[in-house]
Structure 1
Amino acid sequence: MDRKEFLSIAGITAASFALINCMGCSKQSDNASAGITGPTGVDFTLDLSLSANSALLVNGGYLASKGVIVAKTTTGSYIAVQQSCTHESYPLIYQSSGQQFFCNNHGSAFTEAGVVKNSPANRNLTVYQTTLTGTSLRIFS
């Protein structure tokens, strides 16, 4: 192999790596600008009589299930939103004292209605409907 062939192969290899890295960066920036959306076609039921769901018996309690955070507000209403922050898809927690969903990673916060309160998130959360029948709490889109 002469010098010209070597440089040609090295150039193609470097260009390939650069292209792969650029494609990865492009995907991340697309997600950041478009925002992360919650699951679609959501329809599941939580049995509140089961110990696994006991957090929802207390005002201010919450749990995550199937990509959704389900919370019982301080006033006793049930609310459900996507579990992932719309900024970079980190899991959210429910803070009943602040009546908000919060991302511990970058500090984004959302109202109980899923509306952005502070950045870096710039897209609202997907909100799901809830219906309580006896001890069965249905969460659906």
Structure 2
Amino acid sequence: MDRKDFLNSMGMSAAAFALLNCMGCKKTDIGSSPDTIGPSGINFTIDLSLAANSALLGNGGSLISNGLIVARTKTGSYIAVQRSCTHESYTLTYQSPNSRFYCPNHGATFSEGGAVTNGPATRSLTVYNTTLTGTSLRVYS
């Protein structure tokens, strides 16, 4: 086998391999994946007196609990949203200086109220209710 035949054979092998791997591929609507939708039936309490929850004592802090991001805004309000991006379910981060939630995968951003402020996400985050009583922060749907 000469060099030209060898390279041609290698190219055909690579193409066949790629084709076989994609034959099982099925396009799905990523936006409807269960991981891109916030959890339902949420009802839990965070004890702010515990050291594990100290991130919520100062304005701008956040933590992940029960599949949600719970945050304290720059103005001291508590907010809670689903922790996964509505685009492809990557874990969001809360960026207090920008008053937003950010997806590091494709750069989607969401307001503190859950609205999409930059794509590729097209669906808002699920937002949950919060109520502070003493040092107990209740998060519920």
TM-score by length of 2: 0.81
Correspondence for 2:60:
60
Structure 2 residues without counterparts, runs of 5 or longer: 1-18
Q: Deviations over 1:106-141 (max 9, x none)?
A: 100000000000001000000000000000000000
Which secondary structure does the structure 2 equivalent of 1:45 belong to? strand
The alpha carbon displacement at 1:30 in A equals 1.5
Q: Does 1:92 align with 2:92?
A: yes
Name the counterpart of 1:124. Answer: 124
* Superposed counterparts of 1:64-75, under 5 Å: 64-75=64-75
Q: Structure 1 or 2: larger helix share?
A: 1
Give the whole-Å Cα distance in 2 for the aligned partners of 1:41 and 1:31: 23
2:139 is aligned with what amino acid?
I
Q: Secondary structure at the match of 2:70?
A: strand
Count the aligned residue pairs: 120
Runs of 4+ in 1 over 6 A off after TM superposition: none
Aligned equivalent of 2:109: 109
Question: Runs of 5+ in structure 1 lacking a partner?
Answer: 1-13
Give the CA RMSD over aligned residues: 1.7
Matched, 1:31 2:30: yes
Residue type matched to 2:113 in 1? A
Structure 2 counterpart SS, 1:80? strand
After TM superposition, give the deviation of residue 31 of structure 1 in Å: 2.2
SS of 1:120's equivalent in the other structure is: coil
Percent sequence identity over aligned pairs: 61
